[in-house]
A and B are shown apart, each in its own frame.
Chain A
Amino acid sequence: MNTEHASAGTDPITTARTDLVAAFQSIQTAQRQGASNTDLLPLIIQLNTALQYEENATALQQQDPTDPTATAYALQSINLSTNVSLQAQRLGDEAQSASLRRSVIAYGLALTAATVAALGVVGAPRLIRFIQKNRLRRARIVYGEDNPAR
């Protein structure tokens, strides 16, 4: 099995890495819940920016472990990842309720159509009789010599 574990650094950088993965997981969950690719694309862009910050932080920390800019980059990455996670969760929840609503409406319509179709078949003979009777009632009755058929 070929695997490669993400490297761990100082605390803020490790947290930044963990938050990046958490945000990615939130995006995948939102996608499973039905969020559209178009809605999620801005979040992917933001997550790539957060990844860039995390990479900058790691590079700076490797050069100088005491460099405060590394921590600043890591914190920026954490903020962005957290924001992406929250937005992804919101999108996922919205997509899930929209999907549930759509299903309820669609199956409700299907059941209504089935009822109407069944009623139509059962009531069809009666309806035909009613129409015929109505037609007869409306038809002019011609008596005796006036009848052109005679």
Chain B
Amino acid sequence: MEKIILQDKLVVFLILLVSFAAIFSSATFYALSPRASQPLMAMGIYSRTGLLGYTVPATNSSVTSGDRLNWTLSVTNDMGSAQFVMIIARMANSTFPSSNSSTPSTFPEIVAPERFVGDGETSNIGFNWALQSVTPQSGGRLLLNLDVEGKPVVITGDSFRWIFELWTYDLVCGCFHYGYGPQNGSTGVWLQVWFNPSG
């Protein structure tokens, strides 16, 4: 009789032990697991002089020849790991379409600064340029001579704007690709700043 009671108690103990172990282990697993988060990268641009035209037409964004502009590009990384980024700056006119969320623009690449950005960090990259001369041409078009980070740039046309695209390094292909996230499903990040050149 005593032996049967003891056996019953042992069975009850084992059942309880397994149940409690399952409950406490689940709680431990939850406590030790990293919190889920949405991977994200963002890019912004600002200037101390406040000369940034985000709208069309570029109101209050007249750049006179001889003007030197010091802008700052900021890249925020919330991807859960460090990122190797490149920002491609393109000079655009009205001839081609701008970038979009999946395709980069086809305008000529002027400069492409690279930077390592830690997780949860915001990195600032200087972007300095100057409008050296403006020459009117036929059909209302303009010929611009610019100095971008010490590099001479010549462009003709109208509706001038800067396009900035965020590219990230993919270790699988050993190359930069447009936007962030996996190469075959990346999210494009870009912005454009319009300006009105004048002589």
Question: Which A residues form the contact surface with B (CB < 8 A)?
Answer: 1-6, 21, 24-25, 27-28, 31-32, 37, 40-41, 44, 47-48, 51, 55, 102-103, 106-107, 109-111, 113-115, 117-119, 121-122
| Chain B residue at smallest Cβ distance from A117 | B20
CB proximity of A15 to chain B, nearest CB, Å: 15
**How far is B171's CA from A40's CA once the two chains are assembled, in angstroms?**
19
Chain B interface (Cβ < 8 Å from any Cβ of A) = 9, 12-13, 16-17, 19-21, 23-25, 27-28, 31-32, 80-82, 84, 86, 103-104, 114-121, 167, 169-171, 173-178, 183-184
Known: A31-B82, A37-B119. A114 touches B20 (CB 8 A): yes
Q: Is the CB of A21 within 8 A of B174?
A: yes
Main secondary structure of the interface of A (DSSP, over half): helix
A-B contact count (CB 8 A): 105
Q: Are A3 and B171 in contact (CB under 8 A)?
A: no
- Give min CB distance, A136 to chain B, whole Å: 23
Minimum CB distance partner of B171 in chain A:
A25
Q: Which residue of A lies closest to B178 (CB)?
A: A2
Complex Cα distance A28/B77, Å? 13
Q: Smallest CB–CB gap between B139 and chain A, Å?
A: 33
B121, A41: Cβ atoms closer than 8 Å: yes
| Contact status A118-B169, CB under 8 Å | no
B4 CB → nearest A CB, Å: 15
Q: Are B9 and A122 in contact (CB under 8 A)?
A: yes
> Does the CB pair A115–B17 fall under 8 Å?
yes
Q: Taking A2-B177, A48-B116 as contacts, is the C-beta distance between A110 and B27 under 8 angstroms?
A: yes
Tell me the minimal C-beta distance from A104 to chain B in angstroms.
11
Q: Which residues of B contact A110 (CB under 8 A)?
A: 21, 24-25, 27-28
Known: A4-B167, A106-B28, A107-B25. 14 other contacts (CB 8 A): A3-B177, A21-B169, A24-B171, A28-B171, A40-B118, A44-B82, A44-B117, A109-B28, A110-B25, A111-B21, A114-B17, A115-B20, A117-B20, A118-B17
Most buried by B among A28, A41, A117, A118: A118
Complexed CA–CA distance, A118 and B11 (Å): 11
Cβ contact within 8 Å between B176 and A44: no
C-alpha spacing A102/B28, complex, angstroms: 11
Closest 8 CB pairs of A and B: A114-B20, A110-B24, A118-B16, A2-B178, A114-B21, A118-B17, A44-B118, A3-B175
